[in-house]
Structure 1
């Protein structure tokens, strides 16, 4: 037998509560309270209550005060809960006050039981329709497994950014990232664990994108980032940093270390001429697939070169620990300049007689050449 919706009746008159409850029991599970304060405590604690039918004139907390507390609650279910106020004698002033405080409906005690049931049924049906609408909207916007934006929502974001770009000449960049060999990863770990690995990656990526960027899940093992206002070369630079971060990451599943890499496709306006948001996403996806076909673990940006960006000392150390010295070599002069104060302190405190003077002369000569 299906569970009946639970309704709270609030009235300081036991006779009124009993009468209403008798008429409602075939349609609803009824709970009763004698004043607004007790009703408030019940509503906070009992999450199964779907609607309130409350008298206005009551001790401790009247119906208006209860309604005001509901609508100002931080709990969304209480903010939106259907609430019918019942008065002994209806006046236009009372009706206006009830409407202003957010009452769902307003009845007099002379209204018949069939009228109360009809109004209550309509309100609950409306609430259920709104909940279904909200749920559908959330599913359109967010992937239920990852909480990230869906492909459809990303396309809407891109369309909006392209429209703004056309009016103001703003760059719009998009990159699509995919795990290399994701099918093999699913075979090795199982689809659920492979998806969890992807979710971990998504959480890492979410911490690196800007607030104005949109991160979404577009396919199994594939994610996309929309970056309004970001030029292609800077987006390519970010894509390369993401690729390197995945390559040197130490991820283990069931105690076994996983060596993961990603391929990234980049598309950008106005560098790339596209006719729609879907076309920009498709172009970025094609370039990701090209990167995978070329061996993976690379960025394909349609010929766009990453903006020059100095490497940080922690990142350099990560690369060396991963036995990847090649990306570090072009930045050795800058890294040596960062390390010099530390080397001076080490030389002084540990008495190692390091060639500090030679290092300083070398850096001075390099800086002079670069000026």
Structure 2
């Protein structure tokens, strides 16, 4: 007779609730108990300690104003952590207001989502369920990659369609999407290695790593999709009947999983996974016979642009424009590899110095792209200067 062992029991996802208000914590617990496990922290320091010792935590819900370490400080520690499990942890910020300035500041600090204290149970549960599942999927992808790389049967050959076979299948998918008025998306993933002391183009990962990524992509994509190895260190995926945001989310999870998986033994090197994404709606002016080639080239150029900038994450039209103008990507859920390797959090003074240099160089258009991101951070300084002037 079979009996349930502790390992066989399916545990509910665990949510960490960080808030110095007992009433707020009790209200949130009332919303989520039954569907999630929970752990409480009275301030940011307690929340940070809980994250370090409890690997079962899937999502953090944090207040912004707490003693010892506030929500912004906690976010900064999380996003600068050496531990990928913590660094990529979804953080939902709880706010007492719905002001856009506070929302923008929380997003810029690394918040995944922002909710108000009067949020309904159904809406909260839905958001937490999505975030916890994304974490689980990413963790499974990482473990699968590591297992494939370390397995003895990972050879030099990956059973994926050839680029020619991929093109035929992708064209059928594209034509069908046009006839049925559905979406069609191409994703191009480029993989590289980056050393913190080298500014040159990223190096090539070991063949075993590339092969493992190809095998896992083949197992992960839907049967209706098509993935092929289209370069030494790149893969191209064609997918139809999918919302563009869903395609981006899938690409983001894949990129993060590749970068976070323990695939490289040299501690000085970091994995880069940049994915260019193109939807059929971007190429409406292209002739039907040429549209697939146009989309594929656009996706590849975007992926290479991200790789050259050492960015792990998704590069779409907006990200491409910003990078070509010399800007950064404040809105992208990406991992900056140099920050990961050197373990440095984003520094406001560096960003401000860069903006001042751009102004002197006459690059005002690039400066304006970042004004909104920094305005909330600079406001206290401006208020202090105004108050001293009045005195």
Higher gyration radius (CA): 1
Q: Which TM bucket (shorter chain)? A: 0.3 to 0.5
Q: TM-score, normalised by structure 1?
A: 0.39
